[in-house]
């Protein structure tokens, strides 16, 4: 991998460090949810700056472990850390982009978007209470659609996953039996089904296993041409996953209401709101041992904020609102300091 320089873009500077004479190799690890857009940004970033970025798509739990172990320069997670965890670990957390988690399926004769599911039906499928595609409840919700008798195989993440945290948070919001049973978390005890590693593994399994259903980030469904279901939202409307329904879920979000911008966008009101929408987050040390490394990482994130919106939309992610990007930059400029108290990022 090419070594990275760390001069900031026009209008932004990096504090001077005595170690800044040598370029740093920047690494990140974590969430698979944003991997497609991070990969696309990194490719464009290298063409624009000749600098490279190495990101390991290993799941949110793995990313948190690696940044805690100081083996990477930044971690990525879809399940935001709470304020007390951020304080204990000495991390600054901020969102980078938003996307949607979708229910993908492999049901012969049912094209993408033709299957409709309610939240409680989806929860009961993953809870093992609905086991056949022609179950009366599914059939009633899908009048006019021919559903097979096939036995449903739920597919879930076998690794600790922010995507799982988002998905099971939603299931807990729409189903009391799920909330009091498996519950919400990056890892839960799945009652039934098969496990796949990463969004990639779940997508591959759903494609391979007849009558399977799983959950992945929308970009994985599109890139792998896997059918996805419409979901009934909190307002009672059946909606399809796309940029406008993700944006509808984020409309009016109060990003400052939780430490580290760690808000939830699942099960939001609004006729067009996609019910499993989520931001994805970055973790960097508040007082990094190698500040020039974090400075270079912030350069990449800032470049992505400035240049990456159209690329995000092309992959059906939703860029952050301009005011949220500005707030994140202000957080960088006030909260990230080297051991001597010198700011790592300056506007």
Q: Where do the structural domains in the chain lie, given as residue ranges?
A: 13-98+278-346, 101-266
pLDDT in tens, 13-31: 333 333 333 444 789 999 9
Radius of gyration of the chain (CA): 21
- Region 238-266: mean pLDDT is 93
Q: What is the pLDDT of residue 8?
A: 27
CA distances from 250 to 70, 150, 182, 207, 258 (A): 32, 37, 27, 30, 15
101-266: CATH topology is D-Maltodextrin-Binding Protein; domain 2 (3.40.190)
Percent of the chain residues past pLDDT 90, beyond the cut? 85
Ranking 121-125, 190-194, 248-252, 262-266 by mean pLDDT, the lowest is: 248-252
How far apart, in whole angstroms, are the C-alpha atoms of residue 177 and residue 110?
Answer: 28
pLDDT in tens, 75-134: 999 999 999 999 999 999 999 999 999 999 999 999 999 999 999 999 999 999 999 999
The DSSP output letter for 7 is: P
Q: What is the pLDDT of residue 10?
A: 29
- Region 179-205: mean pLDDT is 96
Q: What is the pLDDT of residue 347?
A: 67
How far apart, in whole angstroms, are the C-alpha atoms of residue 62 and residue 158?
Answer: 12
Instruction: Say if domain 13-98+278-346 classifies as CATH 3.40.190.10.
Output: yes
Pairing type for strands 54-57 and 91-105 reads: unpaired
pLDDT in tens, 297-338: 999 999 999 999 999 999 989 999 999 999 999 999 999 999
Q: 164 in helix, strand or coil?
A: helix
Q: Are 38 and 20 spatial neighbours (Cβ–Cβ below 8 Å)?
A: no
How much is the mean pLDDT over the chain? 91
The answer, yes or no, to whether residue 208 has pLDDT greater than 80, is: yes
The yes-or-no answer to whether 13-98+278-346 and 101-266 have a common fold is yes
Q: Which residues pair with 157 in a beta bridge?
A: 196
Dihedral through CA 335, CA 338, CA 341, CA 342, nearest 10?
-90
Q: What is the pLDDT of residue 3?
A: 35
């Amino acid at each position: 991998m090419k070594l990275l320089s760390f001069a900031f873009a026009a209008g932004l500077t990096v504090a001077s460090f005595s170690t800044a004479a040598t370029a740093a190799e920047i690494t990140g690890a974590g969430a698979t949810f944003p991997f497609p857009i991070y990969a696309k940004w990194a490719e464009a970033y290298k063409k624009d700056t000749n600098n490279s970025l190495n990101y390991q798509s290993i799941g949110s739990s793995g990313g948190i472990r690696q940044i805690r172990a100081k083996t990477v320069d930044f971690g990525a997670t879809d399940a935001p850390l709470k304020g007390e965890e951020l304080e204990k670990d000495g991390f600054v957390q901020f969102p980078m982009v938003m996307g949607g988690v979708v229910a993908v399926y492999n049901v012969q004769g049912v094209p993408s978007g033709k299957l409709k599911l309610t939240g409680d039906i989806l929860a009961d499928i993953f809870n093992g209470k609905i086991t056949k595609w022609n179950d009366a409840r599914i059939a009633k919700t899908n009048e006019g659609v021919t559903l097979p008798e096939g036995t449903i195989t739920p597919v879930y993440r076998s690794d600790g996953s922010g995507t799982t945290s988002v998905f099971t948070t939603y299931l807990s919001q729409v189903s009391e039996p799920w909330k009091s049973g498996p519950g919400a978390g990056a890892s839960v005890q799945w009652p039934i089904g098969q496990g796949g590693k990463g969004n990639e593994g779940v997508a591959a399994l759903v494609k391979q296993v007849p009558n399977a259903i799983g959950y992945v980030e929308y970009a994985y469904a599109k890139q792998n041409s896997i059918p996805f279901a419409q979901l009934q939202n909190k307002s009672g409307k059946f909606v399809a996953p796309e940029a406008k329904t993700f944006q509808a879920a984020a409309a009016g979000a109060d990003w400052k209401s939780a430490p580290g911008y760690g808000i939830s966008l699942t099960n939001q009101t609004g006729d067009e709101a996609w019910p499993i929408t989520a931001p994805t987050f970055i973790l960097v040390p508040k007082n990094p041992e190698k500040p020039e490394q974090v400075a270079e990482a912030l350069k990449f994130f800032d470049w992505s904020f400035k240049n990456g919106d159209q690329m995000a939309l092309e992959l059906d992610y939703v860029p952050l609102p301009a005011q949220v990007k500005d707030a994140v930059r202000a957080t960088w400029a006030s909260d990230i300091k080297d051991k001597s108290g010198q700011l790592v990022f300056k506007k």
